[in-house]
Amino acid sequence: LSSWRLRDLIWWRSGVYQGMSRELLVVQRARKSFQTGKTKPLEYRIHQLKNLLRFLSERRSDIADAVKRDLGKSAHGTELFETLGLEGEINLAIEKLAEWAAPRPVEKSLLTIFDEVYIQPEPLGVMLIIGTWNYPWAITLQPLVGAIAAGNAAVIKPSEVSSHSAKVMEELLPQYLDKDLYPVVTGGVPETQELLKQRFDHIFYTGSSTVGKLVMAAAAPHLTPVTLELGGKSPCYIDKNCDIRVACRRITWGKFVNCGQTCIAPDFILCEPSIQSQVVEEIKKCIKEFYTDNPETFEDYGRIINQRHFKRLMALMEGSTVAVGGNSDESQCYIAPTVLKDVTEESEVMKEEIFGPLLPIITVSGVDEAIQFINEREKPLVIYIFSHDNKLIKKVIAETSSGALLANDCLVHYTVSALPFGGVGNSGMGCYHGRHSFDQLSHLRSCLIKQLKMEGVNSMRYPPHTAKKLGWARFLLKQVNMCRLRRMALLATLASVASVAAFVVQVKELKYPSSVPRAVKGFALISAIFYFTRL
């Protein structure tokens, strides 16, 4: 047991904490530690981020072993899809933290032109991060990077479904991070429910829409803001005129990585009937290329997380025609990469997010019907489209709504830290990654600092209010573009220099006609032309 857990156990048995839940004590300790102000200095935040980076480096084998036992993923797969992106996010936060946390000047009005007007990011307080099981390290710790960078405390609740990863996180992470500010709480539904009863300043949840609604309801009594990273059925439209071989290659990778257990995996394909057979055949070739003739024995093809999800997925195949794959082994929680053809919108597999290695194909007459099909359902986390036609891609962007849209590839938008990652509507709210994590988990505080001077200008707002005062108010409250003002000031300076130069040239020419260098004349002429043309 870690030192703080051992201390709690001793105090608990002695009656010091009688009537108080473990979850309540953890939150109280985190809040008390946060209120000391120790997270405000940027140096402290950077120190914690570096410790988190050291944790990922030194405990790489422990993490890989836990993921192997949870999901059957190889060590290389764990590094590629779990820790590599995390390390990039941490390094970015360390590099950019001073810039992100700095005051952000804003445009002023004439009334505030001599005042300090800016946005100051500040910590929200104590966060709750509820992770999920499909990527138990990347998806749980990436919000933590943003929480630490923004100066928050964070209670970390890993998913009990990926139990081996949760245990490693609970035992090892407190050895690297502040134990009071960033505690790990493990357990199942009762422990999560008890945590949700506590007051937090922000809750970050990743998982299903059903549980997301429960999290939002639990946050409501405290008016706690939430970030919900949910899922949904992400469609993938294939234009018949695109390079179908390349499209199917990228779709196969995006769908079956992590055994299909990825929130942004293509959930189903939309294509015209004329290319359905070709799509099936190309995906079949790619499955063989990526996972060999027998994916069950291939190291980089994982397993379904547990028996419950295995049975759910097998039930989803009922009533659909298996075109590729379909093999399974319940004792190993193995389902082969599977393609289902001639699927209809009434099929079982279309009634919920699949979250497994099943890829249904639905035929449509063209892009217009595909757009209609998408718009008749909940807004997805991402829409995929494969086409050479840029106008067709822009049409889908203009006529649909989703958390993201990716053309001619799958999943890779998740790797771009500059892009906000998140859903819309039923697929979630809020976003993160890179600076978006920092802003999402900060309070962007509006600041205006005036001087106790120029009271004559301020008198317009005091009673009595007259038409004359109203006219001045309209003028002074107009927004001022400070960049334009600075440019105008620079041009005015250049104009002054040009005027003086022109005057000197005229005097010199009157007294000494041949003594004025051509360069001086040229400078005067260019300065004058530049000034008047910019005006």
Active-site positions read: 229, 263
Cα angle for residues 60, 64, 68 (degrees, 5° grid): 175
- Cβ neighbours of residue 269 closer than 8 Å, sequence gap 6 or more: 235, 236, 237, 238, 251, 279, 359, 360, 361, 362
C-alpha to C-alpha distance for 279 and 54, rounded to whole angstroms: 45
* CA separation for the pair 122, 436 (Å, rounded): 14
Token pair, residue 200, equals 């937090």
The answer to whether 135 touches 258, Cβ cutoff 8 Å, is yes
Question: Which residues partner with 235 through β-bridges?
Answer: 268
Task: Give the Cβ contact number of residue 275 at 10 Å.
Answer: 19
**Cα–Cα dist 386/409, whole Å:** 7
Write the DSSP string, 387-408: -S-HHHHHHHHHH---SEEEES
Closest CA to 422 of 264, 265, 268: 264
Token pair recorded at residue 371 = 């757009």
DSSP 455-491: HHHHGGGSSSP-HHHHHHHHHHTSEE-HHHHHHHHHH
CA distance 2 to 460: 64
Task: Of 400, 355, 354, give the one whose Cα is nearest residue 376.
Answer: 400
Q: SS3 of 301, please?
A: coil
What Å distances lie between residue 418 and 254, 414, 434, 523, CA to CA? 21, 10, 6, 44
